[in-house]
Structure 1
Amino acid sequence: MLNSVKFKSPTRVDLSGGTLDMWPLFNFTNNAVTINLAIDIWTTCEVHARTDSQLKIKSLDLNKEWTFADAQSFFESTDSNIKLYQAILSAFRHEILNLKTGFELQTQSQSPIGGGLGGSSSLTISMLKALGAFLQLPKLEVNEIVHLAHNLEAKLLRTPTGTQDYYPAVTGGLSFIDYNEKEISQEVLSLDGTPFAENFLLVYTGRSHHSGLNNFEVLKSAVEGDAVVLEALNEIKSISEELREVIRAQRWAEIPALFKREYNARIRLTPAFSSPEIEKLSEICLAAGAQAVKICGAGGGGCVLVWVSPDFREKVVSACQKEKFQCLNAKPINPLTE
């Protein structure tokens, strides 16, 4: 056991292929690729050893802390406010119960609640990295920690979970994540020489979303053979494959049209993908000179990626702020080096 550790993980903006990262949907479309971008909105986890047996949990976001006499008391607690912590720490239950002293675990997330940026997934990765290091366990490979994280969250939330949110939290960078019946594989690219940073504007609609509910409805409809949903999923698959080709060939001018096509396909998946706030924000941004608007995550609220050239950025930001939308100070990041 180490004396103290601190780890942070980025969140992400999904560019294409979202929802198809959820098993077994990528099998219904004969494989799929999801493309996303790590951003500098971070989650953090710190763990500090104690000299007594107490186990203390502190959430800076909720401004709350919980203290337990020992680890056993923590795991036996019925306090619903600590279910996330119990779920993550359960992966290390044996090691934690065998520690000679207690510890303090502190978490923080910069992501808006329900922002559609994969904040809960990023926080899960931060906690798993910090606890693994604190307990001096062998470092997990990328696919191993992703597999563990998404199963822990699905168990906690009792809802289907995809995996695309966890990969950028581990690796950073621009990711192509391929899904097929044999494996999940990730290719991580640098942002150098791309327009993602300069054309990137992230705006919060002010309305939280629930990704699990939207995704579950899509999964249910697909399993039941809904022809409209299955056609939309195949269209999303095709768009994502095209976007990968566009990025590789540096045909940047084609990106806005692909974002627009994906929006139309997602509305066919579920009308809940959009919302009055999103529609208003989209109208404002496009009128001010933005080229496209990309809804983050499962939609219904949360954040929106506005694709805008530097020449029109200030005008778009001003238009958003005038209507009380929050422009976040966020930008894409290159692959992590740690």
Structure 2
Amino acid sequence: MVIKKTIYSKAPTRIDLAGGTVDLWPLYLFLNKPVTLNLGIDLFAEARIEEKASAGTGEVLLRSEDQNLEMKVPWNALDAFINEDSIQAPPALELHFRLLRYFLQKRAELGNKELGFDLVLSTRARSPAGAGLGGSSALAVAIVGALASWVYGEIDPIRDGEKLVEIVKDIETTVIHVPAGVQDYYGAMFGGLQSLKWRAGSHQRGWLPEKIVKGLEERLLLFYSGKSRNSGINNWALFKAFIDNQGDVREKFQKITDATRRLETALLAGNWEAAGQGIAEEWAIRRTLANGITSPEIDRAFAAAAKIASVSGKICGAGGGGCFFILVPSADPAIKNRIRKAIEADGIRALPFQASLTGLEVRTRGA
């Protein structure tokens, strides 16, 4: 079939340097000056929409390339699902399906109800599944970018990003069935090294200077433990403990917030030793929040790195597996290489990356 229009979008994943979990509403409302620091990286999530001429009444094909899964539905059956939830999408395609349904409704509200064409929505994720790099959120942002462009025409992530983040957050929450934090969406939507300050009524988002990003690239090592994790489950347990005011959970989150602020101060001052101390303090508290935050494999990796040099690190995301990073304050390539080899010798994979200074990107070809 002749392709009438192609829309391609991509969004970065992120390394959360410090201050994760406090982005969950309403946790940050109970903390003093809560902040999250994250760095967009080039393990992109990608989405592509192809609108094609149809020989019949038209159909939609949803495809996850990395999951090797697809679902094909006639438009008339999909239209019924909008009102009745009568068709169940496979779990790996539920996010695709729900986001498509949302934007079909918006398209119809604009008076455009014609569906006499074929539509392919395909995605690909470059980060490992369950890596703790915000991959599912980056995928959702990429899909939303493509679908929003399909319905509304050209979009500007800087101008429209905050509104799109709200859409992504609400739709993904219905997929994961637990409250969703928002730092991952900001990382995917805007990229760069962001300081995200969570406040009542509004949030303050800002980029730290590019020279700091370059410094982090020279000092960070990223690894995948080989064990995936479920951030929704881990965050839900911590969420409940915080809301129920169990033990000293709230005090620990305030200490995490304080350590994150010290990390930001150190980064802005270019003090890499102090930055390492801030990360180490954050991780020392975070690992005590619940059983299973860390793992024996990750603990061995940190111990192996500490035998080589004075370094710091933490797990990415909610913990329980996935990725972790190590900061080498000296940026010495020889030391970094020794650490990399020592950790890889235990069967853990290093993930090469570069910082992504930009967030969501969308390109359109055709009418």
TM bin, normalised by shorter chain, reads over 0.9
Count of matched residue positions in the alignment of Structure 1 and Structure 2: 338
Pair 1:60-2:79 in alignment: no
Q: Name the counterpart of 1:335.
A: 358
Secondary structure of residue in 2 paired with 1:330: coil
Q: 1:32 aligns with which of 31, 34, 44?
A: 34
Q: Name the counterpart of 1:8.
A: 10
Check 1:325–1:9 CA distance in 2 against 1; reply closer, same or farther (3 A cut).
same
Deviation at 1:93, TM superposition (A): 2.4
Q: Name the counterpart of 1:185.
A: 204
Segments of structure 2 that go 5 or more residues without pairing to the other structure are 362-367
Secondary structure of residue in 2 paired with 1:196: helix
**How far apart, in 1, do the equivalents of 2:348 and 2:241 lie?**
33
Deviation at 1:207, TM superposition (A): 0.6
Q: Name the counterpart of 2:44.
A: 42
**How far apart, in 2, do the equivalents of 1:326 and 1:227 lie?**
36
Q: Contact conserved, 1:171 with 1:188, CA < 8 A, in 2?
A: no
Q: Name the counterpart of 2:337.
A: 314
Q: Contact conserved, 1:2 with 1:135, CA < 8 A, in 2?
A: no
**How far apart, in 2, do the equivalents of 1:26 and 1:159 lie?**
17
Map 1:83-94 → 2, pairs under 5 A:
83-94=94-105
**How far apart, in 1, do the equivalents of 2:4 and 2:140 lie?**
20
Secondary structure of residue in 2 paired with 1:9: strand
Check 1:306–1:215 CA distance in 2 against 1; reply closer, same or farther (3 A cut).
same
Q: Name the counterpart of 2:348.
A: 325
Pair 1:226-2:246 in alignment: yes
Q: Contact conserved, 2:4 with 2:52, CA < 8 A, in 1?
A: no
Cα deviations by residue, 1:45-102 (Å, 9 ceiling, x for unpaired): 0000121211111211111222222263374422334322122112212227543323
Q: Which moved more, 1:101-110 or 1:63-72?
A: 63-72
Q: Name the counterpart of 1:79.
A: 89
**How far apart, in 1, do the equivalents of 2:360 and 2:293 lie?**
35
**How far apart, in 1, do the equivalents of 2:120 and 2:351 lie?**
31
Letter of the 1:312 counterpart: I
Pair 1:268-2:291 in alignment: no
Q: Which moved more, 1:193-202 or 1:162-171?
A: 193-202
Letter of the 1:78 counterpart: Q
Q: Contact conserved, 2:89 with 2:97, CA < 8 A, in 1?
A: no
Cα deviations by residue, 1:181-204 (Å, 9 ceiling, x for unpaired): 120121023432541011111100
**How far apart, in 2, do the equivalents of 1:169 and 1:2 lie?**
28
**How far apart, in 2, do the equivalents of 1:161 and 1:73 lie?**
27
Secondary structure of residue in 1 paired with 2:218: coil
**How far apart, in 1, do the equivalents of 2:358 and 2:269 lie?**
20
Pair 1:151-2:170 in alignment: yes
Deviation at 1:2, TM superposition (A): 6.8
Q: Contact conserved, 1:10 with 1:38, CA < 8 A, in 2?
A: yes
Segments of structure 1 that go 5 or more residues without pairing to the other structure are none
Check 1:256–1:332 CA distance in 2 against 1; reply closer, same or farther (3 A cut).
same
Deviation at 1:5, TM superposition (A): 0.7
Deviation at 1:143, TM superposition (A): 1.3
Cα deviations by residue, 1:89-139 (Å, 9 ceiling, x for unpaired): 122122275433231111000111110000000000000001111223463
**How far apart, in 2, do the equivalents of 1:67 and 1:251 lie?**
54
Q: Contact conserved, 1:188 with 1:335, CA < 8 A, in 2?
A: no
Pair 1:206-2:226 in alignment: yes
Pair 1:248-2:268 in alignment: yes
Deviation at 1:227, TM superposition (A): 3.7
Q: 2:191 aligns with which of 172, 177, 186?
A: 172
Letter of the 2:341 counterpart: S
Q: Which has the higher contact order (CA 8 A, sep 6+)?
A: 2
Deviation at 1:336, TM superposition (A): 4.6
**How far apart, in 2, do the equivalents of 1:67 and 1:337 lie?**
27
Q: Name the counterpart of 2:302.
A: 282
Check 1:254–1:2 CA distance in 2 against 1; reply closer, same or farther (3 A cut).
farther
Q: Contact conserved, 1:48 with 1:105, CA < 8 A, in 2?
A: yes
Deviation at 1:303, TM superposition (A): 0.3
Q: 2:143 aligns with which of 127, 136, 154?
A: 127
Pair 1:291-2:311 in alignment: yes
**How far apart, in 1, do the equivalents of 2:76 and 2:300 lie?**
49
Q: Contact conserved, 2:193 with 2:207, CA < 8 A, in 1?
A: yes
Q: Contact conserved, 1:321 with 1:327, CA < 8 A, in 2?
A: yes
Secondary structure of residue in 1 paired with 2:67: coil
Check 1:231–1:155 CA distance in 2 against 1; reply closer, same or farther (3 A cut).
same
Q: Which moved more, 1:285-294 or 1:240-249?
A: 285-294
Letter of the 1:328 counterpart: L
- The root-mean-square deviation of aligned C-alpha atoms, in Å, is 2.0
**How far apart, in 2, do the equivalents of 1:71 and 1:45 lie?**
24
Deviation at 1:214, TM superposition (A): 1.4
